[in-house]
Amino acid sequence: MKPRFYLDHNATTPLRPAARAAMVAALEPFGNPSSVHAEGRAARALVEQARGPVAALVGGGARNVVFTSGATEALALALRPSWRRERQAWGGLLLSATEHLAALQGHDFADARILPVDGDGRLDLAALESALEEAGRPVMLALQAANNETGVVQPVAEAAALVHAHGGLLVCDAVQAAGRIACGFATTGADMMILSAHKIGGPKGAGALVLGDGALHCDRPPLRGGGQEGGFRAGTENVPAIAGFGAAAAEALQSGPAEAARAAGLRDAFQSEIMALAPDMAIFGAQAPRLPNTLCFAAPHAAAETLLMALDIEGVAFSSGSACSSGKVRRSHVLEAMGVAPGLAAGALRASFGWNSVPGDVEAAVAALRAALGRIKRRA
């Protein structure tokens, strides 16, 4: 079989061996974690063990972790007007234009307003300040720590200071940032954090909402009835997935900085190689701080779908647009918000490296891209 080279870690990461081992081990204790007998307590122990490392990814407290079926569900839980801190309620919702569609489409506010970003995809803080003043009441802001398509890092701490000065609350989607850059409560000032297991080497179908403090309460969470997860998320816990999430988080905490440094080296080498291939290559978000592992780029006149298929045949896995909904060819709302011309955005590709990436991935990707671009040029 032809070797494969996986450069799509922002879509999902391969399962870490430690996470796989934890999941396999967690299949045996079959009890319901809510049961008081020994079988139930054994399953409960696995869930409780996972809380510490997951919380530590964002410098939070283990007690403030609410396990969910993924980040999409965690965002749907967080972005609701029924959250309260003491008696304070939140009015409207503000979202940056480059948030994940799970935030843009999955919130439960009747009055949501989209805030612009600059040409590099960073939130316009002046627009945020005006929106906070115009709102005239405390609002919630949804702001990613880093974008999944471009890797652009948002000014979360600055935004949190503005939001808090107006009595509001910041929900930070740290799905792509966790384990890759510092994105804890202390550095960002966020009030709630969103995590997903499958972006850090854990399984798909597990995520978390981490609350910044115990004073936050939700009057009407979307899933009610069973009282699990402190009443924030009813439903019997997915014990093996949560155990895998905990193991992946523990490894990401320990190896994350070294993995991120290695990914940055690979990403930078890849960027230099493709600029040498085609000097007119556009790099999106180039002037902004970016995740160390992500590169979003486009060669003018080369359609992303054509390139993706050519690269896949050569064994190289890339992504175009938003990988969370790949399979559907649609315009990237992220590049659109950054003011990228539709023709250029149609050629956007994303390379993202991760915990098991190696220099051979860069070599294979550059060779495949060189061949594909050469063919496109000869046909033109």
- Active-site residue set: 324
Contacts by 51-57, CB closer than 8 A, 24 or more apart = 51/246, 52/246, 53/246, 53/247, 53/249, 53/250, 53/253, 54/195, 54/208, 54/210, 54/245, 54/246, 54/249, 55/210, 56/249, 56/253, 57/174, 57/178, 57/179, 57/195, 57/200, 57/249, 57/252, 57/253
Calpha distance 46→195 (Å, rounded): 19
Phi, psi of 257 (to 5 degrees): -60, -40
> CB under 6 A: which stretch of 116-124, 168-176, 215-223, 230-238 binds ligand PLP?
168-176
Element at 24 (helix H, strand E) = helix 17-26
By CB under 6 A, tell whether 96 contacts ligand PLP. Answer: no
By CB under 6 A, tell whether 207 contacts ligand PLP. Answer: yes
By CB under 6 A, tell whether 173 contacts ligand PLP. Answer: yes
By CB under 6 A, tell whether 144 contacts ligand PLP. Answer: yes
Which position among 102, 160, 172, 260 is part of the footprint of ligand PLP (CB under 6 A)? 102
Which position among 97, 175, 334, 369 is part of the footprint of ligand PLP (CB under 6 A)? 175
Give the per-residue contact string, 27-66, with ligand PLP (x = CB under 6 A; - = no).
----------------------------------------
By CB under 6 A, tell whether 294 contacts ligand PLP. Answer: no
By CB under 6 A, tell whether 193 contacts ligand PLP. Answer: no
Name the minimum Å distance from CB 196 to ligand PLP: 3
Residue 127 contacts by C-beta under 8 Å, 6 or more apart in sequence? 115, 116
239 or 291: CB nearest ligand PLP: 291
By CB under 6 A, tell whether 361 contacts ligand PLP. Answer: no
83 or 245: CB nearest ligand PLP: 245
Structure tokens at 232: 């924030």
Which position among 13, 64, 150, 196 is part of the footprint of ligand PLP (CB under 6 A)? 196
How many CB atoms within 10 Å of residue 163?
Answer: 26
**Three-state secondary-structure class, residue 228:** coil
Residue 115 contacts by C-beta under 8 Å, 6 or more apart in sequence? 94, 95, 96, 97, 123, 124, 127, 128, 131
Which position among 33, 70, 151, 179 is part of the footprint of ligand PLP (CB under 6 A)? 70
173 or 361: CB nearest ligand PLP: 173
Structure tokens at 308: 């993706």
By CB under 6 A, tell whether 223 contacts ligand PLP. Answer: no
How many residues bind ligand PLP (CB under 6 A)? The answer is: 13
Structure tokens at 102: 């799970």
By CB under 6 A, tell whether 72 contacts ligand PLP. Answer: yes
Applying CB under 6 A, the residues found at the interface with ligand PLP are 70-72, 100, 102, 144, 148, 173, 175-176, 196, 207, 324
